A and B are shown apart, each in its own frame.
Chain A
Amino acid sequence: MQWHFDDELKRLKEMILRMGAMVEEQIANSVKALVERDVDLARQTIANDHRVNAMDVEIDETCIRLLALYQPAARDLRFITTAMKITTDLERMSDLSEDISERAIELAGEPPLKPYIDLPRMAGHAQRMVKEALDAFVNQDAQLARRVCGDDQMIDDLTDQIFRELLSYMMADPATVTRAIRLSFIAKYLERIGDHATNVAEMVVYLVEGKLIRHTQA
């Protein structure tokens, strides 16, 4: 029996994946703008944020409509409520990419402090986490989701590493302080992106297992 509600759910999934792809691109572009000192790319990334926001609103409205019209239960209900929470995290990730881009524009005006190795690596991790969290959501794969939660540790470690390194730069030479602080902000933003990706993964576990593992050890 072809139930047209399933069509609606499929469309919702596609919308979320599209939003996820956009966000992944935002993250990648913001760090690329930093590394390549590409001010135009950074500005473009900032401008793109409103597209992500528009998708957030569209998905939310769709979810509310589906809840009102179809009174879903059990897994369908968890799917839709999870979708609403996930888009919030995705939208925050795009905002953070916007912040990274702004720091990138500021840093582009000064000579680079050091070769950027760890930050791009962090960005790569974060991107991967977002992608895997969304894959876990679409395929309802709790195992994958739990792995993503574990990966957050890597980002946290990299953040600590970057802080210590930048600290040593700042202690050695006061002229590096503005740049170092800006870079540490960027590290913080990437760490927050990782946290949001973890949130998404935790919500996927709730969707699949019906257990809320937020705010607890995964």
Chain B
Amino acid sequence: MNSDTQKGFRVEDLKAYFGKVEALHGISMAIPFQQVTAIIGPSGCGKSTFVRCLNRMHEVTPETKVTGVCLWQGWDLYGPAVDPVEVRRRIGMVFQKANPFPMMSIYDNVVAGLKLMGVRNKQKLAQTAEQSLLRAALWDEVKDKLGQPGTSLSGGQQQRLCIARALAVEPEVLLLDEPTSALDPIAARKVEELIYDLKQSYTIVIVTHNMQQAARVSDRTAFFLLGELIEYDKTALIFTNPREKRTEDYITGRFG
């Protein structure tokens, strides 16, 4: 598992603050390359905060701070000369509530990231749009209505549109913050299948409060509680024989 320590994320003693409040108490873990890692835990345990540290979105909120080491493929994300914009391009994110840009068509939504980066070549844009929509398993459903507004799609389709939009800027990582909690079970399953296919080409970290989803979809699972990493192991082990009692209590629903 740790044969190549340069690959994937390496996080050491990561602490995140909201003002003076320490929300993450020194997290250390290695997230493997091109696998699905799930982060589970009760509300307020810091899982979303942690993931937002991985693409420097945490600092967008005013009066926040991050300390510790966070490396992606050996690259220090918080290095002094590092532009957070570049970090966010290489490490993409999809949010809980699908957020297609409201005044743009489906096509414009997918290429929005590229256009905003200055890409003007119509051919490249169209190619990337089709590729991204194919990768997001949405092409067949929207290829005849690319001009319609992004908000005209169903919830599950909108979420896949957001995934396509994130994929269009060609990131190496996809961070998914509770991507299916606002979707009905069938749409959620479609997204889960998509995640399983995407891990061939992307490193994926998924935050979910749905343990069964973590069990179905991920290769490794991390259990967070009150800002701490309690247990982190292969998913099969976590769900059949966890080492920590707190993990077991959470998984069996005996929490609280």
Contact = CB atoms under 8 A, between A and B. Distances in A.
A65 interface: yes
B240 A70 contact: no
A1 interface: yes
B190 A70 contact: no
Contact of A71 (B215, B235, B236): B215
A70 B215 contact: yes
B193 A68 contact: no
B239 interface: yes
B18 interface: no
A64 interface: yes
Interface string B179-218: 0000000000110010010000000000000001001100
The bracket for how many chain A residues form the interface is 10 to 19
A60 to B, nearest CB: 11
A71 B212 contact: yes
A69 B193 contact: no
Contacts of A114: none
B236 A65 contact: yes
B196 A69 contact: no
B236 A70 contact: no
Interface in A1-49: 1-5
Interface of A (DSSP majority class) = helix
Nearest to A71: B212
A69 B215 contact: yes
A3 B240 contact: no
A27 B235 CA distance: 39
A168 to B, nearest CB: 56
Given A1-B190, A4-B196, A69-B235, A64 B212 contact: no
Contact of A68 (B189, B190, B196, B239): B239
Given A69-B215, A70-B216, A1 B193 contact: yes
Given A4-B196, A64-B240, A69 B216 contact: yes
Nearest to B251: A68
Nearest to A65: B236
B215 A3 contact: no
Interface in A55-87: 64-65, 68-71
Interface in B109-158: none
Contacts of A65: 236, 240
Contacts of A3: 193
A15 B216 CA distance: 22
A69 B217 CA distance: 9
B41 to A, nearest CB: 18
Contacts of B235: 69
A3 B186 CA distance: 12
Interface string B212-256: 100110000000000000000001100110000000000000000
A9 to B, nearest CB: 14
B240 A68 contact: yes
A1 B193 CA distance: 8
B239 A69 contact: yes
Nearest to B196: A4
Interface in A80-121: none
Contacts of B215: 68-71
B211 to A, nearest CB: 9
A1 B140 CA distance: 14
A68 B241 CA distance: 10
Contacts of B212: 71
Interface of A: 1-5, 64-65, 68-71
22 contacts: A1-B189, A1-B190, A1-B193, A2-B193, A4-B193, A4-B196, A64-B240, A65-B236, A68-B215, A68-B236, A68-B239, A68-B240, A69-B215, A69-B216, A69-B235, A69-B236, A69-B239, A70-B215, A70-B216, A71-B212, A71-B215, A71-B216
Given A1-B190, A1-B193, A68-B240, 7 more contacts: A65-B236, A69-B215, A69-B235, A70-B215, A70-B216, A71-B212, A71-B215
Please list the 4 inter-chain residue pairs (A to B) with the smallest Cβ-Cβ separation, ordered nearest first: A68-B239, A69-B215, A68-B240, A65-B236
